Amino acid sequence: MSLKPLHHVVLSVSDFDRSVEFYDRVLGFKLSLESPVEGERYERYLKLPAGTTGRMGMLQVDERTLGMIEIIQWSPPPAPTSPPKRPGDPGVAMLALELEEGTTLEEIRGHLDELGVELWSDITEVELENYPPFRTMIFEDPDGLLIELVQLPTRDEVRAYRAALREQEVTA
């Protein structure tokens, strides 16, 4: 099997307009498509209770059709709703987005502060075996989904780090 990078992720939201506004204002995702989700075809395909409808929107950060966020507000809303997933819970607990090269987490943190978005976790350096340290921070969307912004090293930094590891192994 040969797959391309992630096309989109689907988020069920409690308030369509609030979520569109959040993902636009906070992260720069623009609403590129809006459509109803209704009828027997969707009920069968998504195994929805009869009469369930949705308001769907596709959010894109640019013109590419990869890495999109699809949001759907369901009517009637599921009862009862489940709390947001947290690290350790089975299932999707976090949406991780990589910063464009040249953008810093400090700039984004300032933007979030101006918008009144509270951080779940401030800027943190993460270390993984065989990979150079990188930085990340986490906040929540309006429905409590954790969003992680990741500032990765450049390809050249990764290559240099791995070359240094190989050199250490040779000299050890």
- Residue 3 pLDDT: 87
Domain of residue 116 covers 83-172
116 burial level (CB within 10 Å; 0-12, 13-18, 19+): exposed
Amino acid 152 reads L
Query: Are residue 95 and residue 165 in the same domain, yes or no?
Result: yes
Q: Is residue 155 left, alpha or beta, with left meaning phi > 0 and alpha meaning psi from -120 to 50? A: alpha
What was the pLDDT predicted at 27?
A: 96
Structure confidence by residue, pLDDT tens digits, 127-160: 998 899 999 999 999 999 999 999 999 899 999 9
Which residue reads 């040249």 in tokens?
Answer: 102
On whether both 113 and 139 belong to a single domain, the answer is: yes
Tell me how many domains the chain contains: 2
CATH number at residue 131: 3.10.180.10
Clarify whether residues 76 and 104 are in a common domain: no
Decide: 29 and 8 in contact? Cβ < 8 Å.
Answer: no
Distance (Å, rounded) from C-alpha 32 to C-alpha 22? 15
> Each residue of 160-170: pLDDT tens digit?
999 998 888 88
Token couple for 107 = 């700039």
